[in-house]
Amino acid sequence: MPLQSSLRPKDWLVFGSKTCAIWADWEETPPFCTVFSDFAGTPKISSYIASFETADLLSAMDVDLTKILSQWPFEPGKINVRLIEGEDGEHKIQVRLDLGILQMELDWRPDGVRPHGFDSLLEYYESRLDQAMRGGEPPLDPEELVEAEPSQSGEDVLPDEPGDGTPMPSDAPIDLDDMGEDNMPDNDGGFADEESETGQDAVPFVLTESDCRALREEAVQYYHRYVSLLVLEDFDRVIRDTTRNLRLLDLCGEYAQTEADRTLLEQFRPYITMMRARALASQALRDNETKAALHAIDEGIETLRKYFADQDSSELFESSNEVQTLMGMRDSLIPKLPVSQKSELRQRLRRAIEDENYELASILRDELKMLPDS
């Protein structure tokens, strides 16, 4: 069978950040396909019935990408992002990495998947929460639940500091790819099942360990997109995606079943808050609204101040990279603030007196008297 020749044992393929070996036994009836994966030293095997359509897809992936990559060389030291029109007529974001190209949808979920028929997993779980609230029983406090058994694959691994070596618009980026990607997605695409560890779709509402892991993996996609959107100066969508990820942090912080899942993402709140404030200020500046830009930055700084206070880490506020970034942006905006007419006349009057231009000074005094008190 011709298709079989393109599917050889130990052929390693990359799906996003996941590396897999695919082997197909076409002598079985029906044909069987096995996917071997190895993430963080934890192997997992997923088998499913392989159709000829599956074989066509896998065969098509056996393509040398050298020509495609050579047409868009990687440039070290900068974020290589571009907006393209896909075959479906929709705009898509592409990011040139040192070892390939990352492509994302411009709207909805970056990978284009609709989990459980929703635009994102976050919206799916928010909908379940709304249903629980409408059911007349308030969601159960996660603290009242028995802590779940630790995952057999081990703890989620998080970086000590944001950064994976790729330059970002400010500060190094957070390498969220290490956040709990210790397992191959399930055959349904990696989304927690509607009737998962909670047993069934029922009140009280709670997010299990697998729910939170899936939400974190989704947050990674939105992180990559809003960083790219900032480079493209699509500030409205940066605001949309950062606001969305902050909602995800709030949801996990309130309804996660385990203490670890309630606190795991909080360390990234300052970065997301800073990026959102930058986008709000940049959008205001584009509209020539300097005061609005300053207000957005001040609001972001105050949000960060409250965050560090709530974490009993107020001493870290001033030295925070996120705070320093917003402070620097604020300092650059102060000279651009519009000066009131009265303040401008007073400055001109002072200069006229210093230059001993008393005739002009007299005219400016008269103009000042005609202005109403502010």
Query: How many CB atoms within 10 Å of residue 204?
Result: 16
The bridge status of strand 12-15 relative to strand 42-49 is unpaired
What local confidence, expressed as pLDDT, does residue 369 receive?
74
Query: Both tokens of residue 299?
Result: 């609001």
Closest CA to 208 of 280, 260, 172: 260
Strand, coil or helix: 149: coil
Query: Is the separation of the CB atoms in 257 and 207 below 8 Å?
Result: yes
Q: What is the mean pLDDT of the chain?
A: 73
pTM of the entire predicted model: 0.63
Query: Both tokens of residue 328?
Result: 């620097």
Report in angstroms the alpha-carbon separations of 248 from 128, 212, 252, 264, 278.
14, 10, 6, 12, 20
Distance spanning both ends of the chain, measured CA to CA = 86
What local confidence, expressed as pLDDT, does residue 341 receive?
60
- Residue 35: phi and psi, rounded to 5, are -110, 120
- Locate the domains of the chain by residue range: 2-63, 67-101, 107-336, 341-370
Task: Give the integer Cα–Cα distance in Å for 33 and 47.
Answer: 6
Query: Up-side HSE of residue 301: CA atoms within 13 Å toward CB?
Result: 18
- Residue 263: phi and psi, rounded to 5, are -110, -15
Task: Give the integer Cα–Cα distance in Å for 108 and 35.
Answer: 28
Query: Is the separation of the CB atoms in 81 and 55 below 8 Å?
Result: no
Task: Give the integer Cα–Cα distance in Å for 287 and 174.
Answer: 30
- Tell me, what amino acid is at 209? E
What local confidence, expressed as pLDDT, does residue 265 receive?
94
What local confidence, expressed as pLDDT, does residue 351 receive?
86
What local confidence, expressed as pLDDT, does residue 139 receive?
45
145: Cα separation from own chain's centroid: 30
> Exposed, middle or buried by CB within 10 Å (0-12, 13-18, 19+), for 73?
exposed
The bridge status of strand 91-97 relative to strand 100-105 is antiparallel
- Residue 15: phi and psi, rounded to 5, are -115, 100
Q: Which regions in the chain score pLDDT beneath 70? A: 1-61, 136-203, 337-342, 370-374
What local confidence, expressed as pLDDT, does residue 46 receive?
40
Look at the chain and count its residues: 374
Cross-strand pairs, 46:
35
What local confidence, expressed as pLDDT, does residue 154 receive?
41
What local confidence, expressed as pLDDT, does residue 58 receive?
52
What local confidence, expressed as pLDDT, does residue 57 receive?
52
